[in-house]
């Protein structure tokens, strides 16, 4: 590792190939004045010779998160250098993982198309796959190096002016407005067609998915406690699978990987805040997973455990609940909450269903609908169920935390505080970061409602640190 001090950069420059090295150097030294624009090969604060590709991808993702603007110069033909998983090349390049992260974070993305750009088929496919996430590059003017440099300088001047005049800056729309807009465009059921992951797109490739890459990635995904890193590895895995549309898969193992990775995407995405009717969101992934499970049931039903093939109603209900909370049109909120309730009732009919988990979600839906007594009934039932079955302490703590928060909504502030305190005490004994952050957030509210302002602030601060450490940004 270099001894050079770590520095954050407000602008991230992505690129495709070595053909652009001279231009990237000029952008870094001239336009960026070496302090404004992150150019990976120019900064080189880490040891690139000893760091493996997934670790390098994590560092690039961190740099994208730290930036405000994402600049992409499209030139030449190349798709970029592929990321290696263990010793095998994946179909995903470093350029793609940077672009994916910028899209996920809804960064301001700017494309500059150099006059020699003639993309190879793989790059055309990638731009098509992510077309909903950024402006159409095809409509951009073809530019010389000097023109690209001038336009990037213009962006930097604009960025500087925004910093100097920060009270006048126009902020991006709040998340509730974004989720409402997406629901209005895609979620209302007239006509109603499910939104699938990446809009149901696949990629035509002669090479079948590499089982060894998928196995290596899945092992790392399930062992990582950082949501952001899990999502980047999941992206690589799902892109590996895109050569085999799940409706046509006859390989049981590949279909199981589709099922597992889509489920993991929905789980990680929920903590990351990927809520809304968007092709990269949790709901889209779960709609695709429901399709995959129906194919698994039809082809291999007798060979697999029931939980691998049944309708994922609990997860779908949770995703719809998370969207509904952010909708501000009352009729739309109620519509999506009722869709979630229908998913729960449907799933409760299956013998293999997790009744406790389903009732916990239903309790939260009832709470948001103002049906507080019914919410408390569900929360108490979940708590008793988990105690009776000797569930892990963290699971009991989660139930107590929800019960306490319900009591707050009922006006029983002291009782709610006691439950929330005990819930967090138990959550500290093995709960994942997301559940602990959520419990701390509810406990902070309970302290505030009981007039314990300093404790509320300290608890909120601890919760935000858990969010930062583990990437569970949904709990901010």
Span 38-62, pLDDT tens digits: 998 888 765 656 778 898 899 899 9
Give tens-digit pLDDT for 158-212.
Answer: 776 665 544 433 333 456 766 787 777 766 655 557 889 988 888 888 889 999 9
What per-residue confidence (pLDDT) applies to 162?
64
For the residues 320-348, what does the mean pLDDT come to? Answer: 94
Q: Would you say residue 284 has pLDDT above 90?
A: yes
Residue 138 — very low, low, confident or very high, per pLDDT cuts 50/70/90?
low
Angle, alpha carbons 100-103-108 (nearest 5°): 130
Phi, psi of 113 (to 5 degrees): -105, 115
* Residue-range domains of the chain with CATH: 11-168 (3.40.50.450), 174-353 (no CATH), 383-476 (1.25.40.10)
pLDDT of residue 44: 72
Q: Is the whole-model pTM more than 0.75?
A: yes
Average pLDDT over residues 351-367: 93
The confidence band for 105, taking pLDDT boundaries of 50, 70 and 90, is confident
pLDDT at 150 over 90: yes
């Amino acid at each position: 590792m270099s001894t050079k001090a770590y520095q954050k950069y407000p602008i991230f420059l992505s690129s495709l190939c070595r053909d652009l090295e001279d231009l990237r150097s000029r952008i870094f030294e001239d336009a960026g004045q070496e302090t404004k624009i992150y150019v990976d090969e120019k900064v080189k604060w880490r040891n690139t010779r000893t760091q493996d590709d997934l670790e390098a991808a994590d560092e690039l993702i961190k740099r994208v998160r730290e930036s405000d603007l994402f600049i992409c110069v499209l030139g030449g033909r190349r798709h970029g250098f592929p990321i290696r998983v263990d010793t095998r090349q994946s179909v995903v390049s470093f350029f793609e993982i940077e672009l994916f992260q910028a899209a996920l974070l809804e960064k301001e993305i700017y494309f500059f198309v150099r006059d020699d750009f003639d993309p190879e088929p793989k790059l055309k496919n990638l731009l098509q796959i992510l077309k909903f996430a950024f402006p159409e590059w095809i409509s951009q003017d073809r530019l010389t190096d000097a023109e690209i440099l001038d336009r990037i300088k213009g962006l930097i001047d604009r960025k500087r002016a925004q910093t100097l005049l920060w009270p006048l800056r126009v902020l991006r729309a709040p998340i509730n407005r974004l989720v409402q807009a997406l629901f209005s465009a895609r979620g209302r059921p007239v006509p109603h067609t499910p939104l699938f992951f990446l809009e149901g797109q696949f990629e035509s490739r002669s090479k079948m998915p590499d089982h060894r890459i998928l196995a290596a990635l899945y092992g790392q995904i399930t062992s990582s406690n950082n949501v952001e890193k899990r999502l980047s590895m999941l992206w690589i895995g799902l892109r590996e699978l895109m050569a085999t549309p799940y409706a046509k898969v006859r390989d049981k193992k590949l279909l199981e990987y589709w099922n597992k990775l889509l489920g993991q995407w929905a789980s990680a995405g929920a903590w990351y805040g990927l809520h809304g009717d968007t092709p990269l969101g949790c709901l889209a992934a779960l709609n695709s997973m429901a399709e995959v499970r129906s194919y698994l049931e039809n082809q291999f039903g007798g060979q697999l455990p029931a939980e691998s093939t049944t309708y994922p109603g609990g997860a779908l209900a949770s995703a719809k609940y998370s969207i509904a909370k952010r909708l501000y049109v009352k009729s739309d909120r109620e519509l999506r909450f009722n869709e979630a309730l229908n998913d729960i009732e449907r799933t409760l009919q299956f013998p293999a269903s997790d009744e406790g988990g389903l009732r916990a979600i239903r309790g939260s839906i009832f709470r948001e609908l103002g049906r507080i007594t019914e919410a408390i009934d569900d929360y108490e039932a979940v708590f008793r169920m988990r105690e009776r079955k000797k569930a892990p302490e963290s699971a009991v703590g989660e139930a107590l935390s929800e019960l306490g928060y319900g009591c707050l909504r009922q006006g029983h502030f002291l009782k709610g505080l006691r439950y929330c305190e005990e819930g967090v005490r138990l959550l500290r004994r093995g709960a994942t970061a997301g559940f602990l952050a959520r419990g701390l957030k509810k406990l902070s509210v309970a302290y505030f409602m009981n007039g314990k302002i300093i404790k509320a602030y300290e608890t909120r601060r601890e919760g935000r640190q858990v969010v930062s450490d583990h990437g569970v940004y949904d709990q901010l």
